[in-house]
Structure 1
Amino acid sequence: MRRVIAGVGLAVCLAVAAPSALARVDAQAATQAPVSLQLLAINDYHGNIEPPGGTFFGQPAGGAEYLATHIAALKAQNPNTIVVGAGDLIGASPLISALFHDEPSIETLNEAGLQVTSIGNHEFDEGRNELLRMQRGGCHPVDGCQDGDPFEGSDFDYLSANVEVQITAAQRAAYTKALASYNKARAAYTKAVARYKQRLRTKRAACKTNPRSATCKRKVTAPRRFTRKRPTAPTAKPLLPATKVVTTGGIKVGFIGMTLEGTPSIVTPSGVAGLRFLDEADTANKYAAELKKQGVNTIVVLIHEGGLQTGGLSDCAGISGAIVDIVNRMSSDIDVVVSGHTHTFYICTIGTKLVTSASSFGRVVTDIDLTVESTNGEVVTKSAVNTIVPRTIAKAPAETAIVEKYKRLSAPLANRVIGSISADITRSQTPAGESALGDVIADSQLAATRDAAKGSAVVAFMNPGGIRTDLLASQISGGEQAGQVTYSEAFTVQPFGNSLVTMTLTGQQIDTLLEQQWSGPNAVAPRILQVSNGFTYTWDAAKPNTDRVIIADIRLNGQSISATASYRVTVNSFMA
């Protein structure tokens, strides 16, 4: 009987225990299941808080009010979402943002939920101190807080792994002085210790021969312990943090932020003074290894450098440009590269890495999906698609409030009519590299500096990268009539605030200047200068990069220029 009862009891225990054990097994399996992560990426926003002009893939796109709504809708698809950027979020901005030193851009991106971004070359347009203000907040040192409210800075983190603050002469001098002082103090201490030891030996000898002697009774005091620390030599450090780790869904995701190494060649020197820009791939590999040591196995590079392709919105047809070599030199520790700078769109696989770019001006969000092993944080699958930000969706009320505030504050200047056009004047280039808008700008620069009192210029050159948008006859930005051009529209074409500089160049120097359009940093993507009326030359694409222009073919008002003669030439302060 007792055995039967015992058997029944054991059966009952097993019946009760079995569901609990199964529950534990199910729970364990659930915790070990792969985790789905989502990255939402933008790049080259350039302060376009209002919808940019024109259409994108046949539809109106972009604008902070729609961008925030679009991001929110994508985030709703996955609770494990991180919103990231790849630089040039500010700088070269329309008047509504630039007039307030891009504080409006930062505020709209805060509202959109951006969490981390790399730094682009245009973040340095007003110098590194202004970039630091964008990160940390505070009123502008000259203009103050123009909207009457304190500027809190960005809620998201800027990363600058390959941008180092160089050691200054003052720092070296201070270190040398501190080291000399330390060495002097250390030498004095060493002498004091030697004297102490000698006195101690003398006392001990005296006590041994005559315990009652004055020498034996004399107190010998040891010098105080030397506690002064040797000064540390100054070292170059990143301007802002190199990396950031974000944990979502139990997965640690490491981000490395970088700016294109060639930034000093495309930014006004004062904007990057005291900074050094390092090789992108080498830097990425260094910090990827550091993240791996910290137990971070999902690693994403945010880089402001890019490429070009000829396919559709999410294609990778004939990808070319600097990004290809950089990614090919990156270590296998890196899973995803979010890029920018070239204002184009692509979804590529280069080697083992997913490489993305989301066009520009807030018109596109890249939706990146990662499947990650929960046990070790390794990426199992990765894919992405570029999604257009449509203007058929609801506006985000918080963004509307920001945009309307700055529209109101900028209106007196922005809506001022300064001229008129009867047709579109665009940046579209001929096969030779010339554009109507570039010619108009060069003509205006020549007109402004032709008089003897203003420079006596005979020719003007304009860099194509400084022409940011088209002048459209149909555009209505501030209630003006069709064909009228407002200050805001003209400003958006050239938003840098450069001044004009007139200099004297020989004919040979002008020839050298023209050859530089295809050489050096322009060898991969030539930058054809726009020229003023009366200046002509021919170039031959079949010739070497440094010998495409024949000086005899360079003409000014129909006459060949002389290699030895001097000419007054106007350019903007960036080119100068």
Structure 2
Amino acid sequence: MRVSVRVAAAVAAVGVAVSAFAGVAEAKPAGTTDLRLIAFNDFHGNLQPPAGSSGRVTLANGTTVDAGGAAYLATHISQLRGQVSNSLVLSAGDNVGASPLNSALFHDEPTIEMMNKVGVSASVIGNHEFDEGYRELLRMQFGGCHPTDGCQFHNPFRGAKFPFLGANITFDNGLPAVLPVTIKFVDGIPVGIIGVTLKDLPSVVTPEAIKGFRFGDEVHAINQTSRLLDLAGIRTQVVLLHQGDSTEGGGPDDCRTLPGPARDIAAAASPSVDVFFTGHSHQQYNCVINDPAGNPRPVIQGASFGRLLSVVDLKIDKKTRDVVRTATVAHNEVVTRTVTPDPAVQALVDESVTKSGPIANRQIGTITADLTRTASAAGETPLGDVIADAQLAATQGNQAQIAMTNPGGIRTDLTYASSPAGEGNGVVTYGEAFAVQPFSNIMQTITLSGAQLKTVLEQQWQVQPNGTTVTRFLQISSTLHYSWSQSAAQGNRVSNITVAGQPVDPAGKYRVSVNNFLAAGGDGFAELAKGSDLAGGPVDLDAFSAYLTGHPNLAPPVADRVAVTQ
């Protein structure tokens, strides 16, 4: 009911804008108003500076710089706001979920409090905002104690001071589930902020978390909401889009995006939209893409984990209340750690670290070198190998023969160097393991035929509606080996599949362990949903932790499970 009231209020606000401004447009003086938009995306509760490659930004010359950390982010935001008279802070989604322990242990309440402190004005809903379902999303918005764990961080938890937006999120009956748009006023000029999440959200979230919801086409939702703003005389329009493109490298302000969904959406959506802040793909880019009328507009993304701030400076004509597109300037600012951390946000971070410390700092294993997500030419990663082996070991009671895990479920590297907690080099703490596997997915073992197993491996290459191919390499246990060809046709890339050293029989039956997200067909692996004889297992984090404990001084495995040919 409260969401419906908020939606109605947003529409009413548009109506008020019509009556307030329709009769005074000619009376406004000439000139422009400056507005700075400051956005981040895919923060994922990284209150502390992220470790390893997750805490570095690659510059245009190929060098890297340490970046990120909520207290440094707050300082950079404050500095950027201090340079202009008008500014808005925005988020392109995935603020929470897949978070380190010092945020996740408290159901990401510290992250929402941090966003309140830095003055966020609006956020689009990302797929991870649905990790714990719609009721938890409403709790993040409106506050209240967790129904199971209560208020363990601050009591009471007051929720976000900014609206969560999703113009393309509806209930099954077609009614809006959240606000589609919010309106801010800058020197009396209304600014419409539209939020749109990815229409493919159901493929990256467990089905039970989004039961009863629909996620519509992004362009349609943008255009529909933009027309409403146009009718209300709101000419300055910004889109927060939780969808992004991949890149071919480059620095924070390079535009080397591969053809992808964000580019397609930005090229097709209403010409009334002046700026696109994107997210989801965790990439850094700063592009200019022409709208359908041929006018340029920025399409920008700031990597992830609070390492970059996407900054767009607008000049708004006071008479037309529209953006002067030719005067727009955009850049990605590195959140360096050389500035003085914001004391209020630092105090919040320190509190979260202290309260989570007894759990986070418990030693569970040791490693001899970094276990990273860096892939071989064949798509295999050291950390992925270890996690798959751990999942196989944890499901032996289900007669599992192989295990496979999705790369998106592996959130950060496991580094050899000691963390700031001082546990020592090579020591793995529960908090570090949690950062790697934060979803609490449940292991499930299913039966697949050999032919189905091959189909699953072929589904690692997924053709998108625009004709491009997205590759999602499953990480596999040491009992599974195969080859794939770079030049082979779609659906016929994989060959030489063996299980425990024996060639796979297409008619044979194999017990395969995956997490419940994959078992439901997540990440486009629809064939896994056809598995039979499902048996449950432990939480994936528990499997990983137990494996680390049982294998002290664990070394990175040899990358010999997958071979690639021309």
Q: What is the aligned counterpart of 1:565 among 486, 508, 527?
A: 508
CA contact (8 A) 1:519 1:546 kept: no
Quote the offset at 1:497 in angstroms: 0.5
* C-alpha distance after superposition, 1:326-378 (max 9, x if no partner): 11111211111110111111111111221111111011111110011001111
Quote the offset at 1:316 in angstroms: 0.7
Q: In structure 1, how many angstroms separate the alpha carbons of the residues matched to 2:41 and 2:154? A: 29
Q: Does residue 1:412 correspond to 2:358, yes or no?
A: yes
Q: Does residue 1:56 correspond to 2:2, yes or no?
A: no
* C-alpha distance after superposition, 1:78-105 (max 9, x if no partner): 1210111100011110111111111011
CA contact (8 A) 2:406 2:474 kept: yes
CA contact (8 A) 1:442 1:460 kept: yes
Aligned to 1:382: 328
Q: In structure 1, how many angstroms separate the alpha carbons of the residues matched to 2:154 and 2:215? A: 36
Q: How is 1:442-481 mapped onto 2 (pairs within 5 angstroms)?
A: 442-450=388-396, 454-481=397-424
Q: How is 1:53-132 mapped onto 2 (pairs within 5 angstroms)?
A: 53-54=51-52, 55-57=56-58, 58-132=64-138
Aligned to 1:32: 30
CA contact (8 A) 1:162 1:279 kept: yes
Q: Which segment drifts farther, 313-322 or 137-146?
A: 313-322
1:505 corresponds to which letter in structure 2? L
Q: What is the aligned counterpart of 1:255 among 190, 193, 198?
A: 193
Aligned to 1:303: 241
Q: Does residue 1:398 correspond to 2:344, yes or no?
A: yes
Aligned to 2:445: 502
* C-alpha distance after superposition, 1:143-180 (max 9, x if no partner): 0001251000001111110011112xxxxxxxxxxxxx
1:377 corresponds to which letter in structure 2? R
Instruction: Answer 1 or 2: which has greater strand percent.
Output: 2
2:77 corresponds to which letter in structure 1? I
Aligned to 1:328: 267
SS of aligned partner of 1:554: strand
Q: Which segment drifts farther, 315-324 or 336-345?
A: 315-324
Q: In structure 2, how many angstroms separate the alpha carbons of the residues matched to 1:436 and 1:107? A: 36
Quote the offset at 1:521 in angstroms: 5.5
Q: In structure 2, how many angstroms separate the alpha carbons of the residues matched to 1:147 and 1:283? A: 37
CA contact (8 A) 1:321 1:524 kept: no
SS of aligned partner of 1:131: helix
Q: In structure 2, how many angstroms separate the alpha carbons of the residues matched to 1:473 and 1:34? A: 53
CA contact (8 A) 1:304 1:339 kept: yes
Quote the offset at 1:250 in angstroms: 2.4
What is the TM-score normalised by the length of structure 2?
Answer: 0.82
Q: Which segment drifts farther, 309-318 or 275-284?
A: 309-318
Q: Does residue 1:239 correspond to 2:186, yes or no?
A: no
Quote the offset at 1:33 in angstroms: 1.3
Aligned to 2:287: 348
Q: In structure 1, how many angstroms separate the alpha carbons of the residues matched to 2:258 and 2:511? A: 41
Quick one: structure 1 residues 464 and 417, their matched pair in 2 at CA, closer, same or farther if it must change by over 3 Å?
Answer: same
SS of aligned partner of 1:446: helix
Aligned to 2:255: 316
Quote the offset at 1:544 in angstroms: 2.1
Q: How is 1:503-522 mapped onto 2 (pairs within 5 angstroms)?
A: 503-519=446-462
Aligned length: 476
Q: What is the aligned counterpart of 1:45 among 43, 46, 51?
A: 43
2:341 corresponds to which letter in structure 1? K
Aligned to 2:426: 483
Quote the offset at 1:59 in angstroms: 2.4
Q: How is 1:523-542 mapped onto 2 (pairs within 5 angstroms)?
A: 524-542=469-487
Q: In structure 2, how many angstroms separate the alpha carbons of the residues matched to 1:30 and 1:75? A: 26
Which runs of 5 or more residues in structure 2 are unaligned? 1-25, 59-63, 291-295, 520-566
Q: In structure 2, how many angstroms separate the alpha carbons of the residues matched to 1:366 and 1:319? A: 19
Q: In structure 2, how many angstroms separate the alpha carbons of the residues matched to 1:418 and 1:284? A: 48
Q: Please report the RMSD computed on the Cα atoms of aligned residues, expressed in angstroms.
A: 1.5
Q: In structure 2, how many angstroms separate the alpha carbons of the residues matched to 1:493 and 1:121? A: 18
Aligned to 2:494: 549
Q: In structure 2, how many angstroms separate the alpha carbons of the residues matched to 1:308 and 1:539? A: 22
Determine what percentage of the aligned residue pairs are the same residue.
Answer: 46
CA contact (8 A) 1:478 1:486 kept: no
2:379 corresponds to which letter in structure 1? G
What is the TM-score normalised by the length of structure 1?
Answer: 0.81
Aligned to 1:162: 168
Q: Which segment drifts farther, 52-61 or 139-148?
A: 52-61
1:265 corresponds to which letter in structure 2? S
2:408 corresponds to which letter in structure 1? G
SS of aligned partner of 2:79: helix
Q: In structure 1, how many angstroms separate the alpha carbons of the residues matched to 2:90 and 2:258? A: 23
SS of aligned partner of 1:69: helix
* C-alpha distance after superposition, 1:548-569 (max 9, x if no partner): 123xx11012210111111111
SS of aligned partner of 1:267: coil
Quote the offset at 1:396 in angstroms: 1.3
Q: Does residue 1:264 correspond to 2:202, yes or no?
A: yes
Q: Which segment drifts farther, 54-63 or 495-504?
A: 54-63
Quote the offset at 1:318 in angstroms: 4.4
Q: In structure 1, how many angstroms separate the alpha carbons of the residues matched to 2:463 and 2:259? A: 18
2:85 corresponds to which letter in structure 1? P
Aligned to 1:221: none
Q: In structure 2, how many angstroms separate the alpha carbons of the residues matched to 1:259 and 1:490? A: 29
Q: In structure 1, how many angstroms separate the alpha carbons of the residues matched to 2:395 and 2:274? A: 53
SS of aligned partner of 2:484: coil
1:362 corresponds to which letter in structure 2? G
1:420 corresponds to which letter in structure 2? T
Q: In structure 2, how many angstroms separate the alpha carbons of the residues matched to 1:262 and 1:147? A: 33
SS of aligned partner of 1:115: strand
* C-alpha distance after superposition, 1:230-267 (max 9, x if no partner): xxxxxx22211101110112221111101100000011
Q: In structure 1, how many angstroms separate the alpha carbons of the residues matched to 2:153 and 2:312? A: 37
Aligned to 1:492: 435
Q: What is the aligned counterpart of 1:337 among 265, 276, 299?
A: 276
CA contact (8 A) 1:474 1:482 kept: yes
Quote the offset at 1:29 in angstroms: 11
CA contact (8 A) 1:85 1:116 kept: yes
Quick one: structure 1 residues 318 and 49, their matched pair in 2 at CA, closer, same or farther if it must change by over 3 Å?
Answer: closer
Aligned to 2:378: 432
Quote the offset at 1:436 in angstroms: 0.7
Work out which of the two has the higher radius of gyration on C-alpha atoms and give 1 or 2.
1
Q: Which segment drifts farther, 521-530 or 316-325?
A: 521-530
2:30 corresponds to which letter in structure 1? Q
SS of aligned partner of 1:355: strand
1:345 corresponds to which letter in structure 2? Q
Q: In structure 2, how many angstroms separate the alpha carbons of the residues matched to 1:406 and 1:318? A: 37
1:496 corresponds to which letter in structure 2? F
Q: In structure 1, how many angstroms separate the alpha carbons of the residues matched to 2:418 and 2:217? A: 42
SS of aligned partner of 1:72: helix
Q: In structure 1, how many angstroms separate the alpha carbons of the residues matched to 2:420 and 2:34? A: 43
SS of aligned partner of 2:132: coil
